[in-house]
Amino acid sequence: MPLIEAKNLSKSYGAIRAVRSVSFTVDRGEVVGFLGPNGAGKSTTMKMLTGHLRADEGASVIAGFDVADQAVQAKQHLGYSPEGAPAYGEMTVREFLRFAADLRGLANPAESVRQTLELCRLNEVAAQTIDTLSKGYRMRVGFAQAVIHDPEVLILDEPTDGLDPNQKFEVRRILKEMAARKAVIVSTHILEEVGELCTRVIVIAKGEVRCDESRDKFLARGSDLNAVFRQLTA
Amino acid sequence: MSSSEKSSSPGLKPFMAMVRREFAGYFRTPLAYVFLAVFNAFAVSLAFFVGGLYESGIASLDRFFLYHPWLWAFLAPAAGARLWAEERRQGTIELLLTWPITVWQAALGKFLAAWLFLACALLMTVPVALTVGWLGDPDWGVIIAGYAGSLLCAGACLGIAAIASALTRSQVIAFVTGFLACFVLVLVGYGVFDELLAGLLGSAGVDEVRRFGLWRNLEPFTLGLVDVRPIAYFLSVAFAGLGLSTIIVERR
């Protein structure tokens, strides 16, 4: 059974058809790079997958649970970091993670918070309010709340956006550590990330899937990935 | 963080976490203290200086509760403005809606936390009652009924505020629309407004509309009459507001 299933997802905003019948599945152990120009429908697709947006048509299934009909079960298996890593700015990092742990009903929330702070290297800012953090730390906090319950499914919308090279390296390191046990979707427009992080690539443009193939096949399309990307999304 | 540690039946824990966070949220900013101070200052000064509580020479709090619909109409939307508007502004609504809690649970948790906060504001006025008790010999049952009625009235205003907050990402807009809606319910039952309505609806119509005024429903409590109808009225407005705000958030 695939851990993530998108079945003919479609969404329109008024007259604009943002996502048109997008389908794919992701299995355990796969890290899918979700590529596409801005406005291609990446975030909209992710929002439908995670149950934040209701799809006009189609369905999304997380760990065997339909996100519309069995929302709570589906969401228990899901970790999601939205674009820009929103968080309650007035809380400290530790308070925020504790809230996430409690809201998920984790059996041992204090221990989960401790381990997550460790994993995401957030210990030194644990007592700071999130509003006072640098962008790099904020992104890590967003990542931390998504993995605190060790979910089977991880969906990250531009988790490395705006990070410096060291911070990007750090996020990729953590992701790689846990990827084998999970199904992961990472949206990005940084093409270099594909080779370093992903096992598979889905390119989306104008709300449609333009290519869905293994990393190696994608990299073999040409040495200039930017040109490949332009051609696929034209 | 192993899978075996995951709790299979979280029960009430997520809901209580929601209530705790929201309630504590009020005290994370200076706003809460400003709110409590303003509420107290107005509650006390309206009763004494406008209502003439002291000069009346009567050991009763009806002149104190008389102004509570006005206070709640203003301050319940102020406290309720952040309920959903703040989630939208910060983008955290996207987290909340992808965490394993239903919108209904989240909405109820937020509502109860806000109501609890308003209850704290009300509780801080207890010295007024104690003063009356020191000066005279009031009927404490009537005073307790008055406090219960005022709290219910606050819940009704908060229900309206919740709808306003669910509709926008701006706390200012949420506050203003919430206040205007509550304000109408305060005016219903006041002489000048009634005359205006009589022109439109006729006197029979005005009688019908008057039933929905906040003061009309609070007044029996301040006289020590605890009747089912006003209780049902306040609770219906509160829960209708809660329900409608939930639907608005769900349908976004």
Euclidean distance between the first and the last CA atom of chain A, given in angstroms as a whole number = 34
CB-based contact A99 B102, cutoff 8 Å: no
A196 near A203, Cβ under 8 Å? no
The CATH number covering residue A214 comes to 3.40.50.300
How many domains, in total, are found in chain B?
Answer: 1
C-alpha distances (whole Å) from A1 to each of A65, A111, A147, A183, A213 are 11, 31, 22, 12, 19
Q: Which residues neighbour A140 within 8 Å (Cβ) at sequence distance 6 or greater?
A: A120, A121, A122, A167, A170, A171
Q: Are residues A106 and A137 in the same domain?
A: yes
Chain B CB within 8 Å of residue A154 CB: no
Residue closest to B222 by CA, chosen among B148, B155, B134: B148
Q: Are residues A62 and A156 in the same domain?
A: yes
Residue A45 lies in a domain: yes
Is residue A63 included in any domain, yes or no? yes
CA dihedral angle for residue B138, residue B144, residue B147, residue B148, rounded to 10 degrees = -150
Which tokens sit at A67? 């996100």
CB neighbour class for B21 (10 Å; exposed up to 12, middle 13-18, buried from 19):
buried
Q: A51-98, pLDDT tens digit by residue?
A: 989 999 999 999 999 999 999 999 999 999 999 999 999 999 999 999
Q: Spell out which residues of chain B touch residue A138, defining contact as CB-CB under 8 Å.
A: none
Q: Which of B2, B9, B10 sits opposite A150 (nearest CB)?
A: B2
Q: Which of A83, A103, A141, A181 to mutate to test the interface with B (most CBs of B within 10 A)?
A: A103
Condensed to tens digits (0 to 9), the pLDDT of residues A157-213 reads 998 887 888 888 888 888 888 888 999 999 988 888 888 889 999 999 999 999 999
Please report whether residue A82 resides in a domain. no
Integer Cα distance of B80 and B154 in angstroms: 11
pTM for the predicted model, two decimal places = 0.90
Segment-wise mean pLDDT, segments of 10 residues, chain B, 252 residues: 47 90 91 91 87 75 88 94 93 93 94 96 92 87 93 97 95 96 87 72 74 87 89 95 94 76
Task: Report the number of distinct structural domains present in chain A.
Answer: 2
One-character DSSP codes across B70-114: HHHHHHHHHHHTHHHHHHHHHTTHHHHTTSSS-HHHHHHHHHHHH
- Output the DSSP codes for B220-251: HHHTT---HHHHHHHHHHHHHHHHHHHHHHHH
A120 & A218 share domain: no
Domain presence at residue A83: no
| Separation of CA B232 from chain center | 15
Q: Which residues of B touch A88 (CB under 8 A)?
A: 21, 25, 90, 92
Give CA–CA dist A85/A79, Å, rounded.
Answer: 12
Residue B171 structural domain: 12-251
B207 part of a folded domain? yes
Tokens coding B9: 């039946």
Six-digit token pair at A100? 């996430």
How high is the ipTM of this complex?
0.89
Instruction: Give the domain range for residue A222.
Output: 4-77+152-233
Contact at CB, A72 and B98, closer than 8 angstroms: no
Q: Where among A150, A175, A198 does a domain terminate? A: A150
